[in-house]
Amino acid sequence: MSAKSFIKTVKGARRGVSLAKSLHYRLAAVLSMLVLLLCGSAFFVWWLEKGFKGSYFDSLWTIMFTLIGQGEFASYPHTFSGKIIVFLISIFGVAILGVVFAEVLQRIINSKIRQILGEMMGINTCKFEGHVLLCGWNERGHHIIHELTASGTQAALIAKERPENLSSDVFFVQGNPSERETLLRGGIQKAHSAVILSDPNFGEDDSHSILTALAVEDTAPDVYTVMELHNPDNERYAKYAHVDDILYSDSLIANITAMCTQNEGISAFIRDILSAADDGHSFAAFDVPEEYRGKTIRDMFNYLKTEGGLPVGVLTPPKSSSGHVPASEWVSQVNPPESMVITLPMKVVCIVKDSYSNTKGS
């Protein structure tokens, strides 16, 4: 395209932008006008310029190039009617084409702006599948997000306000996690698990966390739920909400601190096995496969050692239980007897390389 033709196209586009702003045409109507102008002009060129010689599509191709100022017909029409057609195409065709470009560009920009603002304000709906949904936020949230993303797990967050320095990889939903509509926007029905954190923005006690657990159970009963509690007396209410696992963060931190004061240097070991964000080791729990039913703990532990794992114990449902029992109520046995016969269901707990744990988990 020559400089002159390019300038003419740009000027036409500018006229189109002005026309789009003043008339606010719908894109479909503008496209229809452009198609009608091109097809009609092609017919008149085929009739008046070529006397129906050649094909109609050749004339349409000529008009398409005339629209951008190219081709012999754009510069040297043979008839007076052809000159009128070139004039109309140069003025109205390029202007309408500018309208189309302006409308498409405006829609793309508006859509992108809505998406960005929606993500920043937390009003969009999460499209993740198999992710972890954090319900609530406190000072431990950043550490949880760091561990999840380091292990390759997608994460979404529901909170009253967007936390500072929240990773762009985390899908944020603004709202109250105890409300069903907010949980749905967080993709709770397609989530793998939900972590209910004690959020000071909704009160200092455990009542809001329990309400959130009830909402999660009502909305997505199959989602594995982990709840953070402060007061052990509220555990019975969490069980009413069918929470799968319960953690007491304050007492857990206190226990680890006391252990470190009694065993010099053990803090480095604890940091290693409690974090999946480094290239070290971490705890992992796996379901014991059917092929080990009736075998001994020695058989299973020996196999895990050959695979690079360090088995430390097993989890089994209570013997008096009937039906489904949450994993939080299973009985832990650290360093069980090697002669113990395996009965299913059972989970084996190991210390493994983080890369091995991530592979097994995926």
Q: What is the pLDDT of residue 226?
A: 93
At 5, list the tokens.
Answer: 């033709």
Shared-domain flag, residues 184 and 140: yes
pLDDT at position 294 over 60: yes
Q: Quote the domain boundaries for residue 329.
A: 279-361
Two structure tokens written together for 297: 């703990």
Assigned domain for 159 exists: yes
CATH code, domain with 297 = 3.30.70.1450
pLDDT of residue 293: 94
pTM for this prediction: 0.59
Residue 128: per-residue pLDDT: 92
Same domain, residue pair 114 and 203: no
On the 0-12 / 13-18 / 19+ scale of CB atoms within 10 A, 252 is exposed
Write down the pLDDT at residue 276.
Answer: 67
Tell me if 291 is assigned to some domain: yes
* pLDDT tier for residue 209 given thresholds of 50, 70 and 90: very high
Which CATH number fits the domain that encloses residue 109? 1.10.287.70
Domains of the chain: total: 3
Indicate the residue among 121, 144, 170 that finishes a domain. 121
**Stretch 250-264: mean pLDDT, rounded?**
84
End-to-end CA distance of the chain: 54
Range among 12-26, 43-57, 282-296 with highest mean pLDDT value:
282-296
- CATH number of 237's domain: 3.40.50.720
- Coil, helix or strand at residue 147: helix
36 and 76 fall within a common domain? yes
Q: Does residue 74 lie within any of the structural domains? A: yes
User: Which has the higher per-residue pLDDT, 68 or 20?
Assistant: 68
Q: State the Cα–Cα distance between residues 273 and 86, nearest whole angstrom.
A: 76
C-alpha distances (whole Å) from 72 to each of 9, 78, 86, 94, 174 are 17, 10, 11, 18, 60
Share above pLDDT 90 across residues of the chain, in percent, rounded to a whole number: 34
User: Does the pLDDT at position 248 exceed 80?
Assistant: yes
Q: How confident is the model at residue 360 (pLDDT cuts 50, 70, 90)?
A: very low
With a cut of 60, say whether residue 260 has pLDDT above it: yes
Q: Which of 121, 156, 191 is the last residue of a domain?
A: 121
Query: Is 127 part of any domain?
Result: no
Q: What is the sign, positive or negative, of the torsion defined by CA atoms of 226, 230, 232, 235? A: negative
Is 179 contained in some domain? Answer: yes
Per-range mean pLDDT, top range of 138-152, 247-261, 348-362 = 138-152
What is the Cα gyration radius of the chain?
33
Number of Cβ within a 10 Å radius of residue 222:
8
Q: Helix, strand, or coil here: 281?
A: strand
Beta strands of 189-261 (E only): which ranges? 193-196, 224-229, 245-248
User: 263: which residues sit within 8 A by CB, 6+ positions away?
Assistant: none
Least confident of 35-39, 154-158, 216-220: 35-39
